[in-house]
Structure 1
Amino acid sequence: MTELPPVGIGTWENTDPEACANAVQTALEMGYRHVDTADIYGNEEHVGEGIERADVDRESFVLASKAHTQATGLTYDAVVETAEQSLDRLGVDALDLFYVHWPTGEYDAEETLPAFDELVADGLIREVGVSNFTPELVEEAMEILDAPLFANQVEMHPLLQQEELVAHAQAHDYYLVAYSPLARGDVFDVPEVSEVADKHGVSEAQVSLAWLRSKDNVVAIPKATSRAHIEDNYASLDLELDEEDVATIDEIEREDRHLDFDAAPWN
């Protein structure tokens, strides 16, 4: 079964061709082993270029993409077509992980999810994921899918701790993949995070990523484009928070969701 490393490279909003390709190449050659993209990001070709440039064996890392209702759609045929197009743009034979990006619009569990099973059976994808799903929607997906549900990708950081989703992922043994794990930079201005960062002599970014890593079944995919930020995020793997550090962050009472709209499944 596929395993997700504790920190991967996210590529959302990284649409500059050279910057995107360079970030992916830099991350892979630094040691990252999880690359996340999506058809709606409009950068799969650039991600593929970075993969091609990197002196890293394709089978050594997890490559993930997503099907979005606003891109090519989430009907059965649209999901299959999206996967095939993603493979072509990325220049690979198979995706290690393929997500339903949002359970909105054309998403219909009974029609959408069997397409993922077909893609697994045909060897075009290895694992099935969902994104932005509530526990109830995850359970519905698990009932319909023949393939095991591998991951649910959601916004998660010290200001949106997602306790219910973490508990659900742990109880049902799937990954919770944290996007925007630095709260789009807001963690740099959180006193509790800064306190822990000062204690260890590291950045707030490293503290946020180490805090996420302290939770069983949780991994993170911070977006970064510069070598300095890619390196700083990767260095979080060397940071071990103690119980007091984790408790300090756990006790943050703010709940700031950056990606929210009326049709989101939690509204």
Structure 2
Amino acid sequence: MDRITIQGLQVPKLGLGTFRLQGEPCRAAVESALALGYRHIDTAEMYANEDAVGDAVASSGIARDQIHITTKVWWQNLAPDAIRRAFDASLAKLKTDYVDFYLIHWPAPDMDLAAALRTLLSIKEQGGARAIGVCNFPVALLKQAVEQLQAPIACNQIEYHVLLGQSRLCDYAQRHGIPIVAYAPLAQGRLASYPQLQAIADKHGATPSQVALAWLLQQDNVLAIPKSGSPASQRSNLVALDLKLDDDDRAAIARLPKDQRFVNPPFAPQWDE
């Protein structure tokens, strides 16, 4: 498994996303992924599956320090006391003494970002999280966190795939040494309708999903966390780690539409800020 170093932590570039997996299917998916060699599991307070993730990790027989676990605090719980309560609840459900990344899941329109980040940093300093970060932060908010508040942001988790260009945000993150974690990296199952991707896949004896994942994983400081409930799809996603795209492939991907955003809830920030 390819890894990158983030604030001294060795984080696998390919992880397992668990959004919309709950209960027994979630537990089984995490158990399967761990058995296949995955060591990076992504969950969140809002997913209502931290208990299932915790059960799977606990029963895996794999040492806790060999598994990277990310969880997140929901945007409605960003007041300091609410963050503390949410974090304690997440740890209890995950059945662990710490998480590797603790992230703000979405920015809230009326949040006190300085207070929220101070609380996350306090959790880190007390050993509850090995690193802290954010999700769904456009450039303006990421700039505030990094430059104005000087928070040690370990990553920005964002929707990022071959159909959604994030060049401005990625450029900023790259300049400041902040890795990007790509969620919905397979464009929520919409890749098969693009013959350009199928042509690249045919050339490599691969699938469009494997091509799309490889495109992300071959970028510096980019990780990807596709959701995958079945062992077959988890195994298929692992193939992307060994798929090497060439300049012609990347040029063809660059010509795909780059304005297809599929995760845009009513409380989302202004993406172009």
Same-fold status (TM-score > 0.5): yes
Return the alpha-carbon distance in structure 2 between the equivalents of residues 207 and 54 of structure 1: 30
1:198 aligns with 2:206: no
Q: What residue identity is the alignment partner of 2:117?
A: L
Secondary structure in 2 aligned to 1:4? strand
1:32 aligns with 2:52: no
Q: Which residue of 1 aligns with 2:267?
A: 263
Secondary structure in 1 aligned to 2:78? coil
Match of 1:186 among 186, 190, 193: 190
Q: Which residue of 1 aligns with 2:128?
A: 124
Q: What residue identity is the alignment partner of 1:13?
A: R
1:115 aligns with 2:115: no
Q: What residue identity is the alignment partner of 1:31?
A: G
Match of 2:17 among 6, 10, 29: 10
CA distance change for structure 1 residues 24 and 92 in 2, over 3 Å: closer, same or farther? same
1:74 aligns with 2:101: no
Q: Which residue of 1 aligns with 2:102?
A: 98
Secondary structure in 1 aligned to 2:54? helix
Q: What residue identity is the alignment partner of 1:133?
A: F
Contact 2:145 2:151 in 1 (8 A): no
User: What's the CA shift string for 1:200-258, capped at 9, x where partnerless?
Assistant: 11111110100001211111000000111111111211111112111211221341111
Q: What residue identity is the alignment partner of 2:45?
A: D
Return the alpha-carbon distance in structure 2 between the equivalents of residues 4 and 243 of structure 1: 27
Contact 2:146 2:152 in 1 (8 A): yes
Report the number of matched residues.
Answer: 264
Q: What residue identity is the alignment partner of 2:47?
A: Y
Match of 1:227 among 231, 235, 239: 231
The alpha-carbon deviation at position 110 of structure 1 amounts to 1.9
Contact 1:75 1:112 in 2 (8 A): yes
Return the alpha-carbon distance in structure 1 between the equivalents of residues 10 and 196 of structure 2: 31
* TM-score, with structure 1 as normaliser: 0.95
**Runs of 5+ unmatched residues, structure 1:** none
CA distance change for structure 1 residues 145 and 95 in 2, over 3 Å: closer, same or farther? farther
Q: Which residue of 2 aligns with 1:53?
A: 59
The alpha-carbon deviation at position 194 of structure 1 amounts to 1.0
Q: What residue identity is the alignment partner of 1:53?
A: S
Q: Which residue of 2 aligns with 1:169?
A: 173
CA distance change for structure 1 residues 104 and 163 in 2, over 3 Å: closer, same or farther? same
Secondary structure in 1 aligned to 2:190? helix
CA distance change for structure 1 residues 145 and 52 in 2, over 3 Å: closer, same or farther? farther
Return the alpha-carbon distance in structure 2 between the equivalents of residues 187 and 149 of structure 1: 31
* TM-score, with structure 2 as normaliser: 0.93
Return the alpha-carbon distance in structure 2 between the equivalents of residues 198 and 171 of structure 1: 35
The alpha-carbon deviation at position 106 of structure 1 amounts to 5.0
Contact 1:69 1:106 in 2 (8 A): no
The 5-angstrom pairing of residues 151-166 of structure 1 reads 151-166=155-170
Return the alpha-carbon distance in structure 1 between the equivalents of residues 168 and 48 of structure 2: 32
Secondary structure in 2 aligned to 1:110? helix
Stretch moving more, 17-26 or 145-154? 145-154
Moved over 4 A (4+): 144-147
